[in-house]
Structure 1
């Protein structure tokens, strides 16, 4: 079994690609969003639909960057927590 660090280095670990929510609320809200999207887009003229889809595509293009930043910030926070645990002064017997 290879280590997690090697898997991360060689690109074998990709949390964003492997993630799929199983939470009922997420699934319910996702289905509601899809239904609203379909209903809304049916009401648009072809040129409006094209413009709207471009806006949605632009937004989706930004998501990976946002998720990467969230991941890095979370990872750094976790590392800081570990450092704090290891650097914590041991209580003396007098306390």
Structure 2
């Protein structure tokens, strides 16, 4: 059994691949998004729908960047808390990403 560092090194840890929520609300919202996109696909001309899809692709790219930033900040915050707990000292707080 690999430890966390070995798993990270060998690429066995991929938090972004396991980030989908198991919440029923999450699934319901995804179903609503799919239904809405299908509605707009039927309603819009092909060129207009392609523009809408391009916009949603840009949104997903921004969302991915935001998720990576949140993960990184949370990891740094958690590490700082562990240092504080284990050493009895307060390390500098992680910097806010801007």
Q: Which runs of 4+ in 1 moved over 3 A?
A: none
Is the radius of gyration larger for structure 1 or structure 2? 1
Match of 2:53 in 1: 53
Which residue of structure 2 aligns with residue 84 of structure 1?
Answer: 84
Q: Quick one: distance in 2 between partners of 1:87 and 1:74?
A: 20
Higher RCO (C-alpha 8 Å, min separation 6)? 1
Following superposition of structure 1 onto structure 2, how do residues 14-53 of structure 1 map, counting pairs within 5 Å?
A: 14-53=14-53
TM-score, normalised via structure 2 length = 0.77
Structure 1 runs not aligned, ≥5 long: 90-95
- The TM-score normalised by the length of structure 1 is 0.79
Q: Give the root-mean-square deviation of aligned CA atoms.
A: 1.7
Deviation at 1:4, TM superposition (A): 0.9
Cα shift readout 1:33-69 (whole Å, capped 9, x = no counterpart): 2112211232111221111111112222333322211
- Alignment: residue pair count: 89
